Amino acid sequence: MADLRFRANTPDVMHETIDGEVIAINLVSGNYYSLRETGAEIWALIDELDALSVDELAHALALRYASPPDEIESAVAHFLEELVAEGLVARAEGQAESRREPAEQPTGVPTQVFPLPRVEKYTDMQDLVLLDPVHQVDDTGWPRARPEAVRDA
């Protein structure tokens, strides 16, 4: 998995960062997700630099945390597998054209242990997310879904 590259799965996924927490919505499944701490850091790197490999992500995080690089790489690989399974990130085609370093490079020697990144999944609003008010309505308007939209859901 180390040579694979990953990118946010747009336009099927919308996301916003609020107070350090990433809220991502998969518009295909209707699920929404919370990524905090290192999960939010990984997402920010993917969003900022696009088409990153596990090695590149682990290297960027190893500069910030005192944990062994192989532990960080393993945790990042597992986290990316979860994000791919949930449809939040996709494998990027080919190699990235140009690599650049993240905007914020840490200074000093890291002392904090790397917390494992987690994906918190919520399914309680699937019906509302899947009800597309622009495309899945009849002439009477929203929120009444067209019959074929209800069958497809």
> SS3 sequence, 89-111?
EEECCCCCCCCCCCCCCCCCCCC
- Answer whether 0.85 is exceeded by the pTM: no
Average pLDDT over residues 27-47: 95
pLDDT at 110: 77
Q: Provide the angle, in degrees to the nearest 10, between the axes of the packed helices 54-62 and 37-49.
A: 120
Q: What does R_g of the chain's alpha carbons equal in angstroms?
A: 18
CA distances from 126 to 66, 132, 147 (A): 39, 11, 18
Query: What are the residue boundaries of the structural domains of the chain, listed by start?
Result: 1-96+118-122, 127-153
Average pLDDT over residues 43-61: 91
Average pLDDT over residues 112-138: 81
Q: Two tokens at 153?
A: 């859901």
pLDDT at 98: 42
Q: Which one is the CATH code of 1-96+118-122: 3.40.50, 1.10.20, 3.90.930, 3.30.450?
A: 3.90.930
